[in-house]
């Protein structure tokens, strides 16, 4: 069921580590054991399935649900050692499955500097100043997730803004979309970036219009000139970050994570926590497409692993982001007619990579924001089907943000999943029309994807957006700012129902990782991953969704978080 591949089953040495992923698979042996390990009753359970739609209780044996129904139905499963939990009438949903997360970097974000809260250039500078005071000389300052669009002047920061408060610490702090970063002068010096350094392919070194010197702003591939010299964190520091990330996820009801581009070191940390019995969330992991040969040489196929830790495939980037002005469009930006965005590689190179990775049996997650990038992505997937023949692929376009009408039917026809982060809409609708004009009506087409029969998975892109699914649910059903407005919602015909939004965060994301028979809904035989909330989302006004808190998160039948 989990697609173990014989050559790789013995010893996996990808990136120099050994996996024993099959060791933890639990069997549901209902015949051998009469009583349940745990029973949860007196709840209002939204199963995600028509069967047992009025369920109030479930019995758990091992990691799986063995009985779903009302309180009376689970009574025979209660024995002397069964743990019985009163859900106190709370709404229970399948555990949220975030289809697009940068998980380890999210953990480092929790442990590091927070620039998201800066609401001006002055606050940005002050936060960095105070953070630097606590560090020894030479220690890098990274992360941050700043957003200049939230500042009064909406202009990018420069190295001069922070140089005098970070004379002994190199700085490389990224914008929240991950496509722009600011380096201070010390970091630029260490990276060897000067006024004479050429822009790398797929990247831009922003320069002062008068002097030609770098301002410190590096866009897309240009940022790699600095990232490549930043020392990697140690093993214990990385483990600490992953622990912080999973505790944060559990507090928000997120039981499954799809880490969209992990490093070998990240995966080693996940494996170590799994071996120690410390892994509390389920992980489906993608690697950068540059690792496809390493995966292919030993025959790793998508889905290798067990229900706790699995390898998905590879991630590739077609373009940048709209916030950075590097998302790839057919027509120039409305606020900067000199550019139509950045192709991070040529269409021909992109197509070759997709065909090759597809031939290895890997699932492909392809980042595409602009309308042209999405068309290129669909073209590449279509070319792979023609080159390598039919099979169940479930390739994905991550973000699928701006899609023109003629490309919408191609998602269903090519069986490409639209992997979308609905909370991006809340941030982007503040400035999207300024940036791309009328093309904004083609952004975040949740309802249109449904109408055209496409499979949809929801995520957050954490740390670009908060990991909290409630923000995405609210965005999906209102298309309004948290404070309200625009009246009726931004392009309101694309709003969806609460049931559809929850489905995309649970069953839709499970389908996107080939696990719809194992999780995503609550049913007998499936994994017992669920969340209880402090209010019934179906009985409250949309505004109340943002105030909703998790009271309990259960993974594999065990309570992993309780408020």
Q: 53-81: b or e for each residue (b if 16 or more CB lie within 10 Å)? A: eebbbbbbbbbbbbbbbeeebbeebbeee
The yes or no reply on domain 105-227 and CATH 2.60.120.560 is no
| Beta-sheet pairing, 214-220 with 180-183 | antiparallel
* pLDDT on residue 233: 87
* pLDDT on residue 342: 94
Q: Are 214 and 226 contacting, i.e. CB atoms less than 8 angstroms apart?
A: no
- Residue ranges of the chain assigned to CATH 3.20.20.140: 235-522
Instruction: Count Cβ atoms below 10 Å from residue 294 Cβ, excluding itself.
Output: 14
Query: What's the rounded mean pLDDT across residues 371-381?
Result: 98
- Using the 8-state DSSP alphabet, how is residue 343 labeled? B
CA distance 479 to 278: 38
Digit-coded pLDDT (tens) for 266-287 = 999 999 999 999 999 999 999 9
Instruction: Count Cβ atoms below 10 Å from residue 207 Cβ, excluding itself.
Output: 15
Strands of 171-175's sheet in order across: 113-114, 141-146, 171-175, 180-183, 214-220, 203-207
* pLDDT on residue 22: 35
- Residue ranges of the chain assigned to CATH 3.10.310.70: 105-227
| Token reading at 99 | 């289809």
Selected residue with higher pLDDT from 463 and 401: 401
As a whole number of angstroms, the longest Cα–Cα distance in the chain is 79
* pLDDT on residue 410: 98
Query: What's the rounded mean pLDDT across residues 521-550?
Result: 98
* pLDDT on residue 176: 87
Coil, helix or strand at residue 259: strand
- Using the 8-state DSSP alphabet, how is residue 492 labeled? G
CATH of domain 235-522: 3.20.20.140
| Token reading at 275 | 């071996």
Q: Please state the pTM of the whole predicted model.
A: 0.84
Q: Are 208 and 178 contacting, i.e. CB atoms less than 8 angstroms apart?
A: no
What beta strand segments (E) does 298-378 contain?
A: 304-305, 309-317, 363-368
* pLDDT on residue 30: 42
Of 308, 348, 328, nearest in space to 436 by CA: 328
Selected residue with higher pLDDT from 297 and 224: 224
CA distance 190 to 226: 8
């Amino acid at each position: 069921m989990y697609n173990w591949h014989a050559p790789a089953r013995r010893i996996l040495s990808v990136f120099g580590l050994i996996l024993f992923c099959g060791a933890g698979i639990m069997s549901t042996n209902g015949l051998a054991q009469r009583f349940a390990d745990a029973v949860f009753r007196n709840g209002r359970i939204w199963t995600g399935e028509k069967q047992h739609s009025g369920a109030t209780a479930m019995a758990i044996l091992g990691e799986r649900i063995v009985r779903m129904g009302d309180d009376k139905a689970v009574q025979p499963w209660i024995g002397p050692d069964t743990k019985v939990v009163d859900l106190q009438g709370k709404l229970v949903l399948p555990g949220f499955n975030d289809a697009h997360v940068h998980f380890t970097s999210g953990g480092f974000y929790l442990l590091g500097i927070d620039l998201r809260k800066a609401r001006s250039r002055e606050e940005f500078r002050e936060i960095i100043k105070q953070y630097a005071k606590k560090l020894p000389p030479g220690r890098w300052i990274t992360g941050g997730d700043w957003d200049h669009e939230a500042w009064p002047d909406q202009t990018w920061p420069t190295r001069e803004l922070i140089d005098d408060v970070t004379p002994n610490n190199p700085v490389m702090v990224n914008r929240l979309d991950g496509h722009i970063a600011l380096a201070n002068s010390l970091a630029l010096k260490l990276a060897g970036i000067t006024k004479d350094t050429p822009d790398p392919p797929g990247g831009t070194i922003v320069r002062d219009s008068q002097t030609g010197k770098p301002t410190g702003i590096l866009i897309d591939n240009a940022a790699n000139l600095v990232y490549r010299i930043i020392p990697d964190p140690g093993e214990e520091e990385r483990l600490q970050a992953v622990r912080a990330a999973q505790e944060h996820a559990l507090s928000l009801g997120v039981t499954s994570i799809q880490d969209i581009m992990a490093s070998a070191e990240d995966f080693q940390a996940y494996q170590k926590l799994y071996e120690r019995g410390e892994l509390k969330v389920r992980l489906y992991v993608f690697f950068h497409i540059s690792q496809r040969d390493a995966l292919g040489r030993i025959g790793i196929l998508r889905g290798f692993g067990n229900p706790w830790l699995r390898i998905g495939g590879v991630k590739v980037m077609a373009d940048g982001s709209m916030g950075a002005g590097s998302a790839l469009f057919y027509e120039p930006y409305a606020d900067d007619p000199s550019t139509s965005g950045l192709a991070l590689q040529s269409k021909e190179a992109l197509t070759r990579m997709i065909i090759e990775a597809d031939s290895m049996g890997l699932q492909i997650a392809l980042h595409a924001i602009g309308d042209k990038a999405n068309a290129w992505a669909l073209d590449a997937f279509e070319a792979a089907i023609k080159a390598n023949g039919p099979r169940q692929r479930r390739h994905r376009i991550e973000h699928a943000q701006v899609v023109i009408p003629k490309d919408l039917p191609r998602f269903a026809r090519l069986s490409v999943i639209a992997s979308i982060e609905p909370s991006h809409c809340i941030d982007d609708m503040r400035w999207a029309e300024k940036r791309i004009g009328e093309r904004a009506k083609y952004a975040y087409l949740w309802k249109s994807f449904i109408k055209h029969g496409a499979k949809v998975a929801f995520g957050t892109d954490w740390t670009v957006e908060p990991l909290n699914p409630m923000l995405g649910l609210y965005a999906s059903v209102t298309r309004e700012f948290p404070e309200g407005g625009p009246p009726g919602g931004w392009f309101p015909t694309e709003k969806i129902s609460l049931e559809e939004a929850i489905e995309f965060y649970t069953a839709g994301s499970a389908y996107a990782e080939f696990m719809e028979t194992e999780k995503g809904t609550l049913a007998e035989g499936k994994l017992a991953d669920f969340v209880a909330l402090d209010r019934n989302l179906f009985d409250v006004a949309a505004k109340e969704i943002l105030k909703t808190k998790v009271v309990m998160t259960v993974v594999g039948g065990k309570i992993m978080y309780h408020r």
